[in-house]
Structure 1
Amino acid sequence: MKLLVSAIEHSANIHLKALLPHLGEEVELRGIFDRELGEPMEDLRSLAIMGIADALKKLPFFFRLADRMVDAAADADRVLLIDGSGFNLPLAKKIRKRHPDKEILYYILPQAWAWRRYRIPVLERTCDRLLSILPFEAKHYSPTAPIEYVGHPLLDEIDAFKETPPAERKRIAFLPGSRRSEIRRLMPLFHEVRRRLGEIDARIVIPPYFHPDEIDELYGDLSAFTRDPETHRCLLESDFAFVCSGTATLEAALIGTPLVLVYRAKALDAFLVRHLTDLRYAGLANLFSMDFRGRPMHPELIQEALSADAMLREYERFDTERYFDDVLALRRYLGHGSSARVAAILGGETAG
């Protein structure tokens, strides 16, 4: 089977890598993905964007790349789009227009349930299968939409989980995110909290792609921390975590590490999020928990609510026993990983 794949973001390639062992050797990958996974039509390193000015300069390149993908779809048996809605949703529309009978599958859907809901009918019209990783997502689509919950990829990608709640707090993880702006805003708080916690083993997760000189500029003096490039291992071995809003908060919750979500954005970005979305919580674990518990799992400190005092207050009063009960419920709620089901669908298995 010739499978045309668009995995244009780093996270999409993590999910694609987990999917490949389930597909079998008869599947031939084409399209956009990490070079370590095959022979892509474009090296993802050339797609990296730094800031709005860089994005505007590269727009013609992305338009040409989309046209190349549309051409390549003619010889593909199926098209698999993974996340990356800014590129993949327009691409789906172009492929559907040029090749109306081509089967298009979208895995890890745009969060149209949270904002820009007008994308939902576009997805329903454009894609043959909508492969959701959020159990509640289908209820936001029409009853006849070709959408199915396939499981959550983190349950494939995380290889070890806590089976009991931490009995004490000796090792604390600090995860300031992967974007430079996030790191610069959070590190002064992390330094202060680490100092005030005193005699602990403080671990900090630093993405492996930062240059040593850049680390010094972004993170400051890290002599009071132990560096760790492995998010899952660090969370598994830690008794508590302060985590920048993002996928890592759900990773911590699934692994079973008590956490406080922290985030501070530019004032304009925060204003837009508050006024353009219906989200009550930033963390996915909290959104899931509202669905199966009717309450959030862990604290969130965002914008003006975020301070070192607030972080330490939430740390001190955190109910670990109740949280771990929610952790077990979260694992049951998500059920299983998604890779095997997505592979079965790509192999021709029907919905159900």
Structure 2
Amino acid sequence: MEQNLSSGICIIAGEASGDAQASLLIKAMKDEFKARDLPEKHFFGCAGPLMRNEGFDCIINVEDLAVFGFTEIISHYSVISKLYKKILQEIKIRKPEVVIFVDYPGFNLRLIQEVYALGFTTVYHIPPKAWSHGEGRTKILQENSHLVTSILPFEIQFFKERGVNAKFIGNPLKDAVDAYLTSHPNKKVPYKIGMLPGSRKSEIKKLLPLLIEAFINLSERLDKVTGAIPIAKTLDPNFVKDIARKTAEQFGRSKEWLEEKISFGIGNAYEVMNTSSYAWVCSGTATLETAFFSTPMSVFYKVSPITAMIVKRILKVKYISLVNLATNRETIPEYIQENALAINLVNHALKLLNDIEIRSEMIGELVEIQKMFPENSANNAAKEIINTIEKYDVPLEQKFRIHKDIWIQK
């Protein structure tokens, strides 16, 4: 049957990270359409600056959707509701080949249900962490997505066991690290400690003092160590440095000592991950990026007692770091809540810095993790998405039946 692939592609991104990943996907889809000798597509939907740079027809700006926190969502509810209705109406009018939802679950998990019910082909690119937050999100993905393109290998079994048509496409972080390493040799500076406290102000306030305390403790036991702290471009460097300086002063260290021993850089996380001999990493995607640089590490995190109690009830997984979730074992130690102590961070750093055999063993495990991730994740996603468009280019009744049969069989 000759496929009709001449109409538009709708993509819904809702924040900066989604804008970045969607822009890569747009490039890859354009290349794949050309490779298959198919007509050029018109891309429209919710976009940020990177997507707009790709000639994207922006119906809603990501900047208008990027609301963080419960109170902010409440105060912006009427605006978000209007934007939601606006994009849904555009989808009804334009009748795209496919609607691709990129991350942003608070908005997209609701919208995908309405779009699927209208008979459009739906794809969730970079799905919400259903595996860590219970079954509700998984059920929505199972019943309302024709394809889920996952960037984490351990998600696939979870999704497939629950009837979600999920495909592992690799991870854009791995592609970014590989690209960085092509022009920056992987060379470790002896006794350099990478200190990654996160990118949010709340994380810096709570976690940076712990890192400074740990580094001072470590330097007393190993004088030749140096430290490096990357500062996210979204943060005021003086805000970060002031917290570091005040913490150092509490432990009897001067501003001059701090500046001599610890370097601060803006937006240089990859440089720090690449050149450090060891790293203390705040839980999050940075743990996976650090693993891609083959840098030994430990992960740490600390939240308020009330938040910790809520999270403990919600989370359904054994580990919090993406590295350990990928291997399904404690490949790197996790120092969480009451265990997030300077002495624990220091003792593990000393063990890895002073024992070549233990250090080599961890590096070997990190290399094995790297092998789990295929190259060119955006290209892989584009191929899977276009295959899905072709598969579901059928009358509605048949379309619903094919999809239902697939997730029942899984």
More helix by share: 2
- 1:136 CA displacement: 2.9
- 1:16 CA displacement: 2.0
Matches within 5 A, 1:79-90: 79-90=99-110
1:239 is aligned to 277
- 1:261 CA displacement: 0.6
Give distance in 2, aligned partners of 1:278 and 1:88.
22
Cα 1:167–1:183 change in 2 (3 A) is: closer
Deviation larger for 191-200 or 109-118: 191-200
1:19 is aligned to 25
The answer to whether residue 226 in structure 2 is matched with residue 226 in structure 1 is: no
2:176 is aligned to 157
Larger Rg: 2
Give distance in 2, aligned partners of 1:212 and 1:84.
28
- Mind listing any 5+ residue stretches in structure 2 that lack a counterpart? 1-6, 32-39, 247-257, 353-357, 392-410
Query: What CA deviation, in whole Å up to 9, does each residue of 1:250-271 have, x standing for no partner?
Result: 1101121111111001112211
2:301 is aligned to 263
Percent of residue pairs identical: 23
1:348 is aligned to 387
SS in 2 for 1:66: helix
Contact 1:160–1:236 (Cα < 8 Å) also in 2: no
1:128 is aligned to 146
SS in 2 for 1:141: helix
Number of residues of Structure 1 aligned to a counterpart in Structure 2: 345
Give distance in 2, aligned partners of 1:67 and 1:320.
54
2:15 is aligned to 9
1:177 is aligned to 198
SS in 2 for 1:278: coil
Give distance in 1, aligned partners of 2:284 and 2:146.
29
2:371 is aligned to 332
SS in 1 for 2:327: helix
- 1:188 CA displacement: 1.0
Equivalent residue letter for 1:124: Q
SS in 1 for 2:153: coil
The answer to whether residue 286 in structure 2 is matched with residue 252 in structure 1 is: no
Equivalent residue letter for 2:373: L
Equivalent residue letter for 2:114: K
Cα 1:49–1:215 change in 2 (3 A) is: farther
Contact 1:165–1:320 (Cα < 8 Å) also in 2: no
Query: What CA deviation, in whole Å up to 9, does each residue of 1:26-45 have, x standing for no partner?
Result: 34332222123215333333
2:340 is aligned to 306
Give distance in 2, aligned partners of 1:257 and 1:46.
38
- 1:165 CA displacement: 9.1
**TM-score of the superposed pair, with normalisation by structure 2:** 0.77
Deviation larger for 267-276 or 152-161: 152-161
Cα 1:213–1:29 change in 2 (3 A) is: farther
Cα 1:157–1:17 change in 2 (3 A) is: farther
Cα 1:44–1:199 change in 2 (3 A) is: farther
Deviation larger for 30-39 or 174-183: 30-39
- 1:201 CA displacement: 3.1
SS in 1 for 2:295: coil
SS in 2 for 1:41: strand
Deviation larger for 119-128 or 279-288: 119-128
Give distance in 2, aligned partners of 1:336 and 1:237.
23
Q: Which of 32, 44, 49 does residue 30 from structure 1 map onto? A: 44
Give distance in 1, aligned partners of 2:169 and 2:325.
18
Equivalent residue letter for 2:342: A
- 1:157 CA displacement: 1.9
Q: Which of 344, 357, 361 does residue 322 from structure 1 map onto? A: 361
**TM-score of the superposed pair, with normalisation by structure 1:** 0.89
Contact 1:206–1:227 (Cα < 8 Å) also in 2: yes
Contact 1:173–1:241 (Cα < 8 Å) also in 2: yes
- Mind listing any 5+ residue stretches in structure 1 that lack a counterpart? none
Deviation larger for 156-165 or 221-230: 156-165
SS in 1 for 2:132: coil
Contact 2:186–2:275 (Cα < 8 Å) also in 1: no
Contact 1:7–1:84 (Cα < 8 Å) also in 2: yes
Give distance in 1, aligned partners of 2:237 and 2:360.
39
Q: Which of 296, 306, 311 does residue 330 from structure 2 map onto? A: 296
Contact 2:15–2:48 (Cα < 8 Å) also in 1: no
Query: What CA deviation, in whole Å up to 9, does each residue of 1:290-346 have, x standing for no partner?
Result: 1xxxx3211111100011111101111232111111112111222334211111133
Contact 1:205–1:230 (Cα < 8 Å) also in 2: yes
Contact 2:147–2:385 (Cα < 8 Å) also in 1: no
Query: What CA deviation, in whole Å up to 9, does each residue of 1:136-192 have, x standing for no partner?
Result: 323223565322222222222222459999776332211110111111011111212
Give distance in 2, aligned partners of 1:314 and 1:22.
42
